[in-house]
Chains A and B, each alone.
Chain A
Amino acid sequence: MKETDVVRKAKKGDKEAFAELVTNYSERIYNLALRILRNREDAEDILQETFLNVLQKLDTFDGRSNFFTWIYRIATNASLMKLRKKRLGFTELPENPDLGPRHEERIIVDWSQDPSFNIQNEEIKKIIDTAINQLSEIYRTVFILRDIEQLSIKETSKILNISEENVKIRLRRARMFLRDKISEYYEGSVV
């Protein structure tokens, strides 16, 4: 059965159809929340909150966006609300990190071919985890939706309700921040 038909049935109160939507999306929503919040208990809270919200608001879903975008928006917003409540020590990214002169002033060290830079390297994992945790919500969500979930710029902009240009700006800053964190580690470890 096509998803639009499942959604239509679920809107009419068909429990089996709703269960099918839950089965189809729960794994992805759990992982999305886990990636944003970086905590399994919080991810489970968001998973439940998202589907309770879907259950409540399904009759308002008009099908203008696809169901995937709609549920991702609900889950992302819920995750952001939780993240805001936790107010962890985010790093404020400079307004124009890409316009700084430092990249032009020195030779950039190439660690992209270093075989030790892989996911078996626990230090790299830790550095990336810490760095993602330091990203404030606006950068973190764009990076996760676009680069980790591998959604398009257009989908990311629809889910976050921001312009495509804004997605690109935030993505650029997040990528540069993360790249620079790995570079700092690499340059520190080879000196």
Chain B
Amino acid sequence: MKSPTHQEVYKKICDFMGEDLNAPACKEVAEHLESCPNCKVYLDTVKKTVIICQEIEKEEKMPQEVKNRLFKVLNLAVDF
């Protein structure tokens, strides 16, 4: 069977990353990565991009006054 091209692998890396990387559909990608340093680096840098973004975009505590204004707009009693 013909090996997937780099381009096909890049596409699949992004499709499946975040999903189960051991899924059968990812096997082909995993096999390719073992023999292709360039694709491996590509996957690692995409993964790292997502990790850095998740850290930067961490949930921010909503200010108390924002909660208060929301409850007021909704005509609800503030219970906190």
Contacts and interface: CB of A to CB of B under 8 A. Distances in A.
Interface in B60-74: 60-62, 66-67, 69-71, 73-74
26 contacts: A15-B77, A22-B70, A22-B71, A22-B74, A26-B62, A27-B59, A27-B61, A27-B62, A30-B66, A103-B6, A103-B10, A104-B38, A110-B44, A111-B48, A119-B55, A119-B56, A143-B53, A147-B18, A153-B19, A175-B14, A175-B46, A178-B53, A179-B46, A182-B45, A182-B49, A182-B52
Contacts of B7: 98-99, 103-104
Chain B CB count within 10 A is highest, among A30, A125, A146, for A30
B11 interface: yes
Contacts of B18: 146-147
Chain B CB count within 10 A is highest, among A26, A44, A107, A108, for A108
A50 to B, nearest CB: 10
Contact of B57 (A15, A19, A35, A51): A35
Interface size class of B (residues with CB under 8 A): 35 or more
A109 to B, nearest CB: 8
Interface of B is mostly: helix
B21 interface: no
Given A108-B42, A176-B14, A18 B57 contact: no
A-B pairs with lowest CB-CB distance, top 6:
A172-B14, A112-B44, A112-B48, A179-B49, A110-B41, A119-B55
A113 B47 CA distance: 11
Interface of A: 15, 18-19, 22-23, 26-28, 30-31, 34-35, 44, 47-48, 51-52, 55, 98-99, 103-104, 107-113, 117-119, 124-125, 128-129, 132, 143-144, 146-148, 150, 153, 168, 171-172, 175-176, 178-179, 182-183
A168 B71 contact: no
Contacts of B42: 103, 108
A165 to B, nearest CB: 9
Contact of B49 (A48, A51, A55, A178): A178
A148 B57 contact: yes
A150 B37 CA distance: 28
Contacts of B47: 112
Given A30-B66, A103-B6, A23 B46 contact: no
Contacts of A23: 79-80
B53 to A, nearest CB: 6
A112 B45 contact: yes
